[in-house]
Amino acid sequence: MIFNPADILIPKNIDFEKWSVVACDQFTSEPEYWEKAAKIVGGAPSTLDIIFPEVYLEEAGAADRIKKINETMSRYLASGIFEKLKDSYVYVERVQSNGRTRRGLIGMVDLEEYDFRRGSHSKIRATEGTIVERIPPRKKIRINAPLELPHILMLIDDREKSVIEPLTERKPDLKKLYDFDLMLGGGRIAGYLVPESEHERITGALAALEDKAEFEKKYDVFNKDVMAFAVGDGNHSLATAKSCWDEIKKGLTGVEAESHPARFALVELENIHDDALEFEPIQRVVFDVDPENVMRALKKRYPRASAESNGGHRIRYKYGENRGEVHIKDGAGNLAIATVQDFLDEYIEKNGGRVDYIHGDNVVEALTDAENTIGFMVDPMEKSLLFECVIKDGSLPRKTFSMGVASDKRYYLECREIR
C-alpha cells in the first residue's frame, strides 16, 4: 500500500501550545512572526527548536543551526518526551481561523511511489513545479536528522467521502490524544487515535481509489497511469525526503530497503472534497526593482494587455500608492499565475531582482508599501479541477496555490524516527 499506519511519536507532559509551531515555509518575509513565536515558546520543549524556519535560510551560521537541531532532536528522544503509537493512524480535526473544521488522517507514504519530476507517472504526484534548487539546503537539514515532523498535506479525490469522513461519526468512541489552541491565530486542533478495527476499512477505501478502471472512468482518460495521491502542501519537503531516500538506499541491500524508516514520510491525508478546504493563490512580491520599469516590461511582453476585462487572465498589481489590474489574453498556459511567473522569470534573468512567494493579499499590500517593490495578485483556482489538470496536463507552475491562508497551514506536532 502507498499510505500506511506509522510508528507515530506524540509528546507527553508538555505545553502543546508552545510545542506546536506553523510550517517552516510560512511567513518567509516576516521575521517578526518567528520572533513572536520564540517569545511564546521561551525555554519550553518546542518543535520550533527542531525545525529550520525558511526566513533564516539565507543567514550565516546555517550549519551550526542544523547541528543544534539534530542535537535537540536526539535530546528529546533520550529524555522520554514522546509516547510511541505503534503502527497507528491519527485522525485530526483542525478548526481554522475562519471557524470551519477540516479533517485529516496522519500516516506514512511510501517514497518509492513518488516522483516529483515533471511528467511523472507515479501514483503520488507533485501538483506544481518543483524548484530543484530549493532541495539541497533542505536536504542538509534532513539527511542526518533522527526525526521527521510533517507539514505535508496529501490530497485524495474521494468524492464518496469513504476514507476519512467515516471517522467523524466514530469520534465519540476514539481515544483523544490532544486538543488545544494553536499559537498566533492558528485556530484549534484535536487528534484521535484510530482503532485497529478501522485500518482494514481505510485500506480498502484507498485501494478503490487506485482501481485503474474507475480511475479512467472518473477522469475520462484512457491508457494513463493511475494518480491516487496529490501533494497539496509541502511539495519541497516531500521532494527532500525523496532525495534523501534515493541517496540512503544506495548503501542498502534489497531486504534492508524494504523496511528502512527513511523510505517513508509522515504526512496528513486530506480529501479535496472536504468543505472546509479552500485553495488560496500564492502571490508574488518582487524586491529590488523599479516598479515602473517592471510594468513597462510587462506591457511590452504582452502587448495586448488591457486595463479592462478582455476575457484574458486578470492580474492585480500594487507598488507604493499605485494599484490597478491588467487583463492578459495571450498569457502563458491556462492559469493567470503561469502568465505572471513566465514574465517574472524572464524579467529577473535580464534585469535582476528577487521574488518571494506570499500567502495573503494583506501581506502583499503591506510589503509593497516599501520602495523598489511591486506585488502581483491573482484569483484562486477551482480546487475540483486539480486532479484532472495534473493527470491530463502535468504539474502546475510552481507555487500556484496554497491550501488555506498562512495561519491555517499545518502546525508541527507529531514526529517519526527516520534513522
State the amino acid at position 146 in one-letter form. Answer: P
Q: Is the distance from CB of 418 to CB of 266 less than 8 angstroms?
A: no
Statement: the pTM of the whole predicted model exceeds 0.75: yes
152, 116 in Cβ contact below 8 A? no
Is 80 exceeded by the pLDDT of residue 398? no
Condensed to tens digits (0 to 9), the pLDDT of residues 226-252 reads 999 999 888 889 999 999 999 999 999
Cβ-Cβ contacts under 8 Å for 246 (sequence gap 6 or more): none
Alpha-helix residue ranges (DSSP H) falling in 188-311:
199-209, 212-219, 235-248, 254-259, 291-301
Residue 138 is which amino acid?
Answer: R
Rounded-to-integer distance, Cα 175 and Cα 172, Å: 8
pLDDT at 57 over 90: no
pLDDT tens figures, 121-177:
899 999 887 777 778 888 999 999 999 998 999 999 999 999 999 999 999 999 999
Radius of gyration of the chain (CA): 22
List pLDDT tens digits, range 174-212.
999 999 999 999 999 999 999 999 999 999 999 999 999
Map residue 197 onto helix, strand or coil. Answer: helix
- Tell me the C-alpha distance between 187 and 181, whole Å: 6
CB 37 within 8 A of CB 184: yes
Helix 291-301 to helix 336-351 angle, to the nearest 10 degrees? 120
Contact 339, 328 (CB under 8 A): yes
